[in-house]
Structures are given as structure tokens and as C-alpha cells.
Amino acid sequence: MRLLEKLSTPSSNSFWSRADGKLHVQWYRASGPVRFDPHIHAEFNIAISLAGAVETAQLGVAETIEPGEAMMGSNPGIEHASVYRTGSHGCEAVNLTFAPELLRDLVHNMRRGLIALAPPAAGAISGALEPVFLGKVQSPTLVAAARDIVAELNHRAPGFETVVEGLATRVLIEALRAWPWKRVELLEIHRSPVLSRRDHIRAVEFMRWCRKDEFRVQHLCRYLATSEERFTRLFRSATGATPAHFYNRLLLARGRELLSASPMAVKEVSYELGFRTPSHFVAAFRREFGQTPQSVRTGLTNPVSEEWINQ
């Protein structure tokens, strides 16, 4: 096994999606911290922490949830960034991703008296403005439902899809019932087509495990079962970067981690990342971070010599 693979953060995803694509469930596990740089989704996402912590930042507001807590990790059309941090038992979270129209359907049912939500809910989700959910909730009911979802996704007994859908719907309703409505902001949001949250996560995970000499956008698109033109357009709309540029930033950030946390020489790091030559790695690193790899190793701010490349 390559050293890069040993040091890379192992993570695991289990997904379930409703047939109409309006509701998705993700069971996420990681043994080390994982960061997702700023990006945009077209869906809402409720994150429930079961182990470790989840941090998110959107609209200049940072929020952290620990086991037993839930938050809206992303709102449609709002740029956000997140970090999954590990505790003594790693990091584990259940994410419920749902389309805005599903929320509107629930509010419609609420107005018919089928779902009991707080009175401000009806006014907050109406008109031309869109709700943006901030803050977090603490609910044993949510956590119990999330753990039941994990059990169903883990065992996948006959009929588990129906059970997961029922549990996911309960999570959504219970979260809305418990939400601090004073933390809901109404904004006019311009939406453009972007990559779905599920495909965004799968794409970033694919990139994390590829060396530079192995990464090809067409291979990634084959993995996602989509065309290269469509993926590139939606990915760029969501992240502001082309897939190639985003991948290079991710790869070089991994190189900086290796330089900071391991005794590997710069040449060794460059080969582990899959660069053709150490000088290629040095040039790319300097373009991205404005400093040389050796400055990360030694703590220098502006080293003038690059004789260390072959050391």
C-alpha cells in the first residue's frame, strides 16, 4: 500500500435515494477529519451527528454540532463549507438531503392540519422569499431515527427502502417541529443548475483517492454515470472551479499535509502524489500557495534556495 493511501483519511458513504430523486439519505463515517471547501447545492441538507462533530459555515455564520445535535448543513443556493471532525470513536453522521419542493409539500400538508408545526413555519415558507435555516436543534427523537436509519442501511433486509423512507420523513418533520424559527432568515435566492449533493460528495471522494498520474475527468464521469460536458458545467457552477483545477487544489493541499505531518522528503512527496518530477510539484505548489514546499517543512516564509528538491 502506498504511503499516501495509508495517510489519506479513510471515509465511507452509504446512500439511499427515493425514486423521484427528491429525498436522499447518507450514512457517513470517517476515521480522520475531512473538509469540504465552499460550494453550493440546490437542496436542503439536515446533518445529525452520531460521533465526532460536524462544522459548517454559511452566510458568515459558523455552527458546530456534536453527538445528539442536528443542523441544516446546507441551504439551497447558499455557499457553504463544512468539516467533519473525529472524536474518540471517529466521525459518524446521518445526512438527510431533500428538494425544496418536498419542504413546500410538507408546509401545504401543515396548512391542511396534517402536520403540527410551529405557527411561524407557515409564514416563513411562502411568497417570493426563500427560507434559510440557521442554528441547530437537540432531539433524542432525531437521534433515535438516525440510528434506526443506520441499522437499516447496514443490514439492508428486505423492505429496507420503505423503512428508510419512513424514517427519513420522520426526521424531516421532527426537525421542522423542533427548529428555532427565530433562526430562519428569508432571502431572495438566485438558483442555477448545480451538481447534486450526492454526486458532489462522490466526486470529491473520488478525487481524494486519485494520484495525479491516475486522475482523469472522463474516469470520474464514468464513475458517476454522467457526461463530461454536463458534469463539468454543473461542478463549475457549484464550486466556481473546473474539475481539474479543483482536483489540483485538493491534491496540493494533501501534499502540504504530508510535508507538515511526515518526515518524507519533498521528492518523496511529489512522487507519492503522482507528479512526473519534483520540479513540477514545486512549481504547482508555489502557484497555489505562494510558497515553496520546503517552507512548509522548515517554517520559512520565503526560502530562496531550491537545492533541497533532491534531498
> Which amino acid type is present at position 140?
P
Is residue 177 packed enough to be buried (19+ CB in 10 Å), middle (13-18) or exposed (0-12)? Answer: middle
Residues of the chain with CATH 1.10.10.60: 214-310
Task: Give the Cα-Cα-Cα angle 60, 96, 135 (nearest 5 degrees).
Answer: 30
What kind of fold does domain 3-187 have according to CATH?
Answer: Jelly Rolls (2.60.120)
Q: How would you classify the pairing of strands 34-39 and 184-187? A: unpaired
What's the pLDDT tens digit per position in 238-289?
A: 999 999 999 999 999 999 999 988 888 999 999 999 999 999 999 999 999 9
Where the chain has pLDDT below 70, the residues are 1-11, 108, 110-128, 298-311
Residue pointed to by grid coordinates 483545477: 245
Give the HSE-up count for residue 217: Cα atoms under 13 Å, Cβ half-sphere: 15
Intervals of CATH 2.60.120.10 along the chain = 3-187
CATH placement of domain 214-310: 1.10.10.60
Give the model's pLDDT for residue 191.
81
DSSP the chain: --HHHHHS--EEEEEEE-TTSSEEEEEEEESS-EEEEEE--SSEEEEEEEESEEEEEETTEEEEE-TTEEEEEE-TT--EEEEEE-BTTBEEEEEEEE-HHHHHHHHHHHHTTSS---THHHHHS-SSSEEEE-SEEE-HHHHHHHHHHHHHHHH--TTHHHHHHHHHHHHHHHHHHH--GGGEEEE---------HHHHHHHHHHHHT--TTT--HHHHHHHHTS-HHHHHHHHHHHHSS-HHHHHHHHHHHHHHHHHHHS---HHHHHHHHT-SSHHHHHHHHHHHHSS-HHHHHH--SS----GGGG-
Cα Rg of the chain, angstroms? 21
Residue 274 near residue 248 (C-beta atoms within 8 A): no
Record the pTM. 0.84
Q: Smallest Cα–Cα separation from 52: which of 98, 22, 23, 83?
A: 83
